[in-house]
């Protein structure tokens, strides 16, 4: 018999967890697995193509109000495995595990919890994590940093933690062939929030003295006003372009010479991986999470230590021009190939 696998997510709106989990659900071997997406939110918020998998929307605005409905779905479907993502959903699945003792609940964590708690107003209570996360059969960590954080912060048994990187999910063949010209084009994709480090990116760009540039920000979020105020403060208004949302992220990234990541913490930076996939090299601040698992210094981009290091690199145009777009693509193709990552998920579910 096929193994019934439920994937439980808050929504299918724009976000890394939503993108990756919906991708995994659609690419499991259907001769062995019977996958289904269960979405707490609404169909109208869906931004990803999910034609290859059955989807059930609970049409709830909040996780708590969905508890009874979600419980009944699990009761009716009788899955072998439930895979959830995002902290509060994982906690609820830990609660469900007390009742559904024959079902294996797997939680996928989306961030380095201890570091993310410094920025998030909706941080997860440590006691809740310890109590309910330990009820899960396995916790999927996107990076070694995330795994170590669970061990250090919550004293979790390493046998309950497994590292599975995110897969390359973009299928477009948009590979850059041109080298950097006299004007350099930079781009960042991600929600406009404090932990993403936009303010230090903007300040660094304001120190460029040796060439003309344009910076594109793709995303929306709570820091939009302060980001725009900072851009104005540094007289960069004419050099910065905002795009709140696009369904053609790969195409937009490919138009640019460098992807900049200013984050103070990352789970696993999907947009950064996507940038490498289309041949656009990256400049990223060193931060806890999966960034260093992707960036190979001098091959597909550069890791910088701090603002001073960032400024120095931005003004070293010869160093920026040293990156070969073809090598950028090759640096990630095998390591994060979707077939390889999907196989890891399948092996975990079988186990």
pLDDT of residue 97 exceeding 60: yes
Residue 328 near residue 278, CB atoms below 8 Å: no
Per-residue pLDDT tens digits for 152-210: 988 899 999 999 999 999 766 666 666 788 999 999 999 999 999 999 999 999 999 98
Mean pLDDT of 205-232: 97
Per-residue pLDDT tens digits for 1-40: 899 999 999 999 988 899 999 999 999 999 999 999 999 9
Q: How far apart are CA 271 and CA 243, in angstroms?
A: 15
Residue 144 near residue 163, CB atoms below 8 Å: yes
- With cut-offs at 50, 70 and 90, classify the pLDDT of residue 247: confident
- C-alpha 213 chain-centroid distance: 27
Lowest mean pLDDT among 67-81, 113-127, 224-238, 305-319: 113-127
Give me the domains of the chain, ranges plus CATH numbers: 3-167+336-350 (3.40.50.2000), 183-333 (3.40.50.2000)
Edge-first strand listing for the sheet containing 81-85: 54-57, 33-39, 3-9, 81-85, 104-108, 138-141, 161-163
pLDDT value of position 120:
72
pLDDT value of position 176:
63
Q: Indicate the pTM of the whole model.
A: 0.91
Collapsing DSSP states into helix, strand and coil, what is residue 86? coil
Q: How far apart are CA 294 and CA 272, in angstroms?
A: 8
**Torsion angles phi and psi, residue 303, rounded to 5:** -100, 130
pLDDT value of position 122:
53
**How many Cβ atoms are within 10 Å of 343's Cβ, its own excluded?**
12
């Amino acid at each position: 018999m096929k193994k019934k696998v439920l994937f439980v997510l808050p929504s299918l709106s724009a976000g890394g967890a939503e993108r990756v989990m919906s991708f995994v659900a659609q690419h499991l071997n259907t001769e062995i697995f019977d996958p289904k997406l269960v979405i707490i939110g609404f169909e109208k918020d869906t931004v990803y193509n999910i034609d290859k998998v059955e989807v059930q929307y609970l049409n709830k605005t909040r996780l708590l109000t969905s508890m009874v409905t979600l419980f009944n779905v699990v009761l009716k479907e009788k899955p072998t495995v439930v895979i959830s993502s995002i902290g509060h959903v994982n906690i609820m699945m830990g609660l469900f595990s007390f009742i559904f003792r024959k079902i294996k609940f797997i939680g996928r964590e989306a961030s380095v919890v201890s570091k993310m708690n410094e920025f998030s107003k909706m941080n997860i209570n440590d006691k809740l994590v310890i109590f309910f996360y330990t009820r899960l059969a396995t916790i999927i960590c996107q990076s070694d940093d995330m795994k170590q954080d669970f061990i250090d912060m919550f004293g979790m048994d390493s046998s309950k933690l497994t590292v599975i990187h995110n897969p390359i999910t973009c299928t477009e063949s948009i590979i850059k062939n041109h080298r950097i010209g006299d004007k350099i084009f930079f781009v960042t994709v991600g929600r406009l929030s404090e932990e993403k480090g936009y303010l230090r990116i903007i300040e660094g760009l304001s120190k460029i003295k040796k060439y003309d540039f344009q910076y594109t920000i793709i995303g929306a979020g709570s820091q939009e006003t302060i980001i725009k105020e900072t851009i104005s403060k540094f007289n960069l208004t004419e050099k910065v372009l905002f795009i709140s949302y696009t369904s053609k992220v790969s195409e937009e990234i490919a138009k640019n010479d460098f992807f900049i990541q200013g984050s103070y913490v990352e789970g696993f930076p999907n947009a950064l991986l996507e940038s490498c996939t289309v041949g656009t090299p990256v400049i990223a601040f060193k931060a806890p999470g999966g960034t260093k698992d992707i960036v190979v210094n001098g091959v597909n981009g550069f890791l910088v230590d701090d603002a001073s290091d960032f400024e120095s690199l931005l003004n070293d145009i010869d160093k920026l021009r040293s990156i070969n777009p073809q090598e950028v693509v090759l640096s990630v193709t095998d390591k994060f190939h979707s077939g390889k990552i999907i196989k890891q998920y399948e092996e975990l579910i079988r186990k």
